[in-house]
């Protein structure tokens, strides 16, 4: 169980140290699911620098991020240390202009 605790601690550090953080399937250059790809596309369209972690590369991370956020799916977007949501929420916020305001 120590692995999950270390991973949860690392997630906290990642979110604290990066203004925009995405936990996703694949990475920013090669998303490995459509939902992750859409979130990356939105962030790239907005010209927002962001950091990402590939949950497919680490099964402990894949479980830990869901536990951390109490959210069952990835991708997961964090801005300024706050959980924003997954693909549907990020897409909706982008379409209505709220995401741009959050990222400003």
Rounded to 10 degrees, the C-alpha dihedral 13/100/93/49 comes to: -40
* Boundaries of domain holding 77: 2-103
> What is the CATH classification number for the domain harbouring 65?
3.40.30.10
Q: Are strands 20-24 and 51-54 parallel, antiparallel or unpaired?
A: parallel
What is the domain count for the chain?
1
Helix axes 34-45, 87-95, angle to 10 degrees: 30
Asked if residues 43 and 20 have their Cβ atoms less than 8 Å apart, the reply is: yes
pTM for this model (two decimals): 0.95
Which candidate, 68, 59, 60, 33, places its Cα nearest to that of 21? 68
pLDDT digits (tens, 9 = 90+) for 11-40: 999 999 999 999 999 999 999 999 999 999
Digit-coded pLDDT (tens) for 71-89:
999 999 999 999 999 999 9
């Amino acid at each position: 169980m120590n692995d999950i605790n270390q991973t949860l601690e690392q997630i906290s550090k990642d979110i604290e140290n990066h203004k925009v953080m995405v936990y996703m399937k694949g990475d920013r250059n090669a998303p490995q699911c459509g939902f992750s790809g859409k979130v990356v596309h939105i962030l790239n369209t907005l010209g927002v620098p962001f950091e990402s972690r590939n949950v497919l590369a680490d099964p402990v991370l894949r479980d830990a991020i869901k536990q951390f956020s109490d959210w069952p799916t990835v991708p997961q977007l964090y801005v300024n240390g706050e959980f924003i949501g997954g693909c549907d929420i990020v897409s909706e916020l982008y379409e209505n202009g709220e995401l741009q305001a959050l990222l400003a």
